[in-house]
C-alpha cells in the first residue's frame, strides 16, 4: 500500500498510466499551470486553517463575508436586462420581478454608454440595441415607473457616464419620495478596465478618475448604502484573460482607485465598505470556485496590510457574478443551459453575493422573455432544490480546492506585484501590459480550441449538421427615429435657461476641485440630457483616442 502521494504516483498511478495512457499528456488550468492527477495531504503540508480560511464573517473571509451566508439570506438574483426604450425595459423588469427576481440590473445601449443622446448622428443604428436607451430624466422616470426604488436594489452597468446615470437615478428616486440614505444598489463606474478590454471610454484617464472619486466622496454622505463602484474583472475575462489575471488586473485597478481616493482626502475605511466587485464565472468548475475564495482572501489582505484598514466591513470583498458570455455558443444553443447551470453552481459554491445567469440564446441576440425566465429558474432551482446553500462553504477542506485556491492567490499576487513595479495600473495600461497579457492568453485558448486540444461541445466536437435555432428578439428598427422625436419634444417643453445655467456650472467645475455630483443632479433635474453634459465635458477635457501599440 502506498504511504505517500509520491509513492502512489510512482507505483500505482504510474503503472496504470503505462498500461493505459490518460486522455491527455497534460491537464492544465486556465493559466496553463499543470493540474495534477491527485491532491493529497502533502499538497497542504504547511497549510494552516486559521491563517488560510478562518470562519465565515471573519478575517480573511475566505469562507464568506457573512456569518450565516445563504442560511440567512440567499444571494440576490439579479438578471442583467435592458433593450429598446425605457418603456420596453420597464416591462421586462416588472416581468422578472413577478417571476421572483430579487434585484434589478440595467444594461444601457452603446450611445448611452459613450455619452451620446439617441438623436445624435453617432447613435444612428445603435439605439436600444445592446441595452436600454436613456438620454434624460424623462427616460429614467419611465424606466423606473411602478418600481419602488427604496425597496429594490439596482445595479447599473455603466462607466464613462456613470456619474450622470447615477444622478438620473437619484433624481427619479427623489420624485418617488425615497429616503436617499437608504437607497441601495451598485454603480459599475469602473473606467480603467474600459481602457484595457472593453473600449467604452470617453475622456482621458485622469479626469475620468476624478469623476470616480467625486462619486465616492458625495455618496459617502448622500447615498451611504449605495455601492459606489463595481470593479470589474468580467470584461477582461471575457476578452480572454485567465482566472488569476482576472483577479490581479481587477485588484490593480482597485488599488489605483483607492489610492486616488486617499489622495483626494478620503479615509479608506470611510469608503472601503462600499466598494464592490464583479467577476465572470467560466466553465473550469473547481478553478472558478477556488478563484472566488482566493479573491476574498487577497482583498482582505490588501485592505489590512496595504491601507491599514481596521474596519472588517472594509476588508470584506462583496461581489456580483455573471456566467460566462464568451463561453456561450451559437451552435446548439440549448447546450448553453448546461454551461450556465454549472457556472452558476460554481459561483454559489464560491460564495457570490448576487448572480446573473446568461440566457441560452445570447450568442445569437438579446434574450427573449422565455429564455430569460429559464435563466432565472436555473438560479431558483439551485437555491431551493439542491441544498448547496444549507451549509457554508461546503467545498472547504477539499485538497484540490484548497490547493487551487492557494495557487490562484499566488499567481494573482505575482501579477499585482508586476503591475506595482510598472508604476500601478494606470501606468501599466499606458504601457499596454494588461492588454498584451490578455491577448496572449486569448490566443493560447483560441489555438487550443482550433487544434481540438480544448473541447467545446457542439463547436469542435459533437457537432451537428441539422441544428434548429430558437426565435430571437429583434429591436424595432424605427426606435431611433421615435427616440429623436421624443427628445425634440423634451427640449421644446423644458426650461432651457435652467439647462444653460446648469451646463455653465459644469463647464466651470471641470477646471476646479468642486465635486461634480451635486451639479450633475441639478442638471438632470432640469432635464439636461446625457449627451449635452458629455458634450460640455468633451469640450473641456477632450476625448481619449490613443491607440495602444500591443
Any idea what DSSP says for residue 461?
B
For the chain, give the percent of residues with pLDDT over 90. 90
Per the model's pLDDT, the better-predicted residue between 2 and 460 turns out to be 460
pLDDT digits (tens, 9 = 90+) for 333-366: 999 999 999 999 999 999 999 999 999 999 998 8
Residue 232's closest CA among 270, 268, 189, 271? 189
Q: Spell out the residues 6+ positions from residue 369 whose beta carbon is closer than 8 angstroms to its own.
A: 92, 95
pTM: 0.93
- The tens digit of pLDDT for each residue in 107-117 reads 999 999 999 99
- Cβ atoms of 520 and 506 closer than 8 Å: yes
DSSP helix, strand, coil percent of the chain (3-state; round to 5): 55, 10, 40
How far is CA 421 from each of CA 301, 425, 427, 447, rounded to the nearest angstrom?
Answer: 19, 10, 10, 31
Q: With 90 as the cut, is the pLDDT of residue 81 above it?
A: no
**C-alpha triplet 91, 96, 97: angle, nearest 5°:** 100
pLDDT score of 476: 80
| DSSP one-letter code for 133 | -
60: preceding bond cis by omega (within 30 degrees): yes
Q: For 354, which DSSP code?
A: E
Please give the helix or strand (H or E) that residue 288 lies within, else none. Answer: helix 285-301
Residue 171 has a pLDDT of 98
Contact indicator for 366, 83 with CB cutoff of 8 Å? yes
pLDDT at 548 over 70: no
- Whether residue 197 has pLDDT greater than 60: yes
Tell me the three cell numbers of residue 16.
496504470
Residue 322's DSSP bridge partners are: 280, 356
According to DSSP, the residues that pair with 80 across neighbouring strands are 105
Residue 499, CA distances (Å) to 117, 310, 325, 504, 531 in order: 15, 44, 40, 9, 13
Burial environment of residue 444 by CB neighbours within 10 A (0 to 12, 13 to 18, 19 or more): middle
Which pLDDT band holds residue 103 (cuts at 50, 70, 90)? confident
What is the mean pLDDT of the segment spanning 495-499? Answer: 98
Q: What is the pLDDT of residue 547?
A: 46
Neighbouring residues of 184: CB distance < 8 A, sequence distance ≥ 6? 153, 154, 225, 226
Tell me the percentage of the chain whose pLDDT exceeds 70: 99
Sheet holding 275-281, edge to edge: 76-77, 354-356, 319-323, 275-281, 229-232
In the sheet with 104-107, reading across from the earlier edge strand, the strands are 80-81, 104-107, 154-157, 185-187, 226-227
Element (H, E) at 155: strand 154-157
Domains and CATH numbers, the chain: 74-451 (3.20.20.240)
Give residue 474's pLDDT band: very low, low, confident or very high (50, 70, 90): confident
Q: Do the beta carbons of residue 263 and residue 513 sit within 8 Å?
A: no
Measure the CA–CA gap between 21 and 14, rounded to whole angstroms. Answer: 10
Amino acid at each position: 500500500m502506498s504511504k505517500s502521494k509520491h509513492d502512489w504516483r510512482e507505483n500505482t498511478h504510474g503503472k496504470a498510466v503505462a498500461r493505459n495512457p490518460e486522455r491527455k499528456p497534460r491537464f492544465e488550468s486556465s493559466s496553463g499551470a499543470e493540474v495534477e492527477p491527485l491532491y493529497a495531504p502533502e499538497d497542504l503540508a504547511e497549510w494552516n486553517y486559521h491563517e488560510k480560511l478562518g470562519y465565515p464573517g471573519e478575517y480573511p473571509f475566505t469562507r464568506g463575508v457573512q456569518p450565516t451566508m445563504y442560511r440567512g439570506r440567499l444571494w440576490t438574483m439579479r438578471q442583467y436586462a435592458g433593450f429598446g426604450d425605457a418603456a420596453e425595459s420597464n416591462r421586462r423588469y416588472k416581468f422578472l420581478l413577478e417571476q421572483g427576481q430579487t434585484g434589478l440590473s440595467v444594461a444601457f445601449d452603446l450611445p448611452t454608454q459613450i455619452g451620446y443622446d439617441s438623436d445624435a448622428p453617432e447613435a444612428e443604428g445603435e439605439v436600444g440595441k445592446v441595452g436600454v436607451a436613456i438620454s434624460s430624466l424623462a427616460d429614467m422616470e419611465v424606466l423606473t415607473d411602478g418600481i419602488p426604488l427604496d425597496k429594490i436594489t439596482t445595479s447599473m452597468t455603466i462607466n464613462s457616464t456613470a456619474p450622470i446615470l447615477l444622478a438620473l437615478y437619484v433624481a427619479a428616486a427623489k420624485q418617488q419620495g425615497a429616503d436617499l440614505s437608504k437607497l441601495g444598489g451598485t454603480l459599475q463606474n469602473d473606467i480603467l478596465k474600459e481602457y484595457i478590454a472593453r473600449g467604452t471610454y470617453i475622456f482621458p484617464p485622469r479626469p475620468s478618475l476624478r469623476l470616480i472619486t467625486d462619486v465616492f466622496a458625495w455618496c459617502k454622505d448622500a447615498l451611504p448604502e449605495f455601492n459606489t463602484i463595481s470593479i470589474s474583472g468580467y470584461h477582461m475575462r471575457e476578452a480572454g484573460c485567465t482566472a488569476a489575471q482576472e483577479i490581479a488586473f481587477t485588484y490593480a485597478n482597485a488599488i489605483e482607485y483607492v489610492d486616488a481616493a486617499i489622495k483626494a482626502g478620503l479615509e479608506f475605511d470611510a469608503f472601503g465598505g462600499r466598494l464592490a466587485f464583479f467577476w465572470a464565472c467560466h466553465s473550469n468548475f473547481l478553478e472558478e470556485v477556488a478563484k472566488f475564495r482566493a479573491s476574498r482572501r487577497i482583498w482582505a489582505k490588501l485592505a489590512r496590510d496595504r491601507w491599514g484598514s481596521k474596519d472588517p466591513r472594509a476588508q470584506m470583498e462583496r461581489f456580483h457574478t455573471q456566467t460566462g458570455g464568451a463561453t456561450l455558443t451559437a451552435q446548439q444553443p440549448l447546450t448553453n443551459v448546461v454551461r450556465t447551470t454549472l457556472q452558476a453552481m460554481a459561483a454559489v459554491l464560491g460564495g457570490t453575493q448576487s448572480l446573473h445567469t446568461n440566457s441560452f440564446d445570447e450568442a445569437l441576440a438579446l434574450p427573449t422573455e422565455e429564455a430569460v425566465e429559464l435563466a432565472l429558474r436555473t438560479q431558483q432551482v439551485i437555491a431551493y432544490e439542491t441544498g448547496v446553500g444549507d451549509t457554508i462553504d461546503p467545498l472547504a477542506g477539499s485538497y484540490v480546492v484548497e490547493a487551487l485556491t492557494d495557487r490562484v492567490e499566488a499567481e494573482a499576487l505575482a501579477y499585482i506585484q508586476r503591475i506595482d513595479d510598472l508604476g500601478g495600473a494606470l501606468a501599466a495600461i499606458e504601457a499596454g501590459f494588461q492588454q498584451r497579457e490578455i491577448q496572449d492568453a486569448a490566443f493560447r485558448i483560441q489555438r487550443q480550441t482550433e487544434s481540438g486540444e480544448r473541447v467545446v461541445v457542439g463547436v469542435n466536437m459533437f457537432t451537428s449538421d441539422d441544428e434548429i435555432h430558437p426565435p430571437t428578439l429583434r429591436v424595432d428598427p424605427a426606435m431611433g427615429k421615435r427616440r429623436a422625436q421624443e427628445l425634440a419634444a423634451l427640449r421644446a417643453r423644458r426650461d432651457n435657461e435652467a439647462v444653460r445655467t446648469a451646463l455653465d456650472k459644469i463647464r466651470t467645475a471641470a477646471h476646479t476641485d468642486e465635486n461634480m455630483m451635486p451639479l450633475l443632479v441639478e442638471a438632470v433635474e432640469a432635464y439636461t440630457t446625457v449627451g449635452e453634459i458629455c458634450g460640455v465635458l468633451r469640450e473641456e477635457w477632450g476625448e481619449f483616442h490613443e491607440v495602444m501599440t500591443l
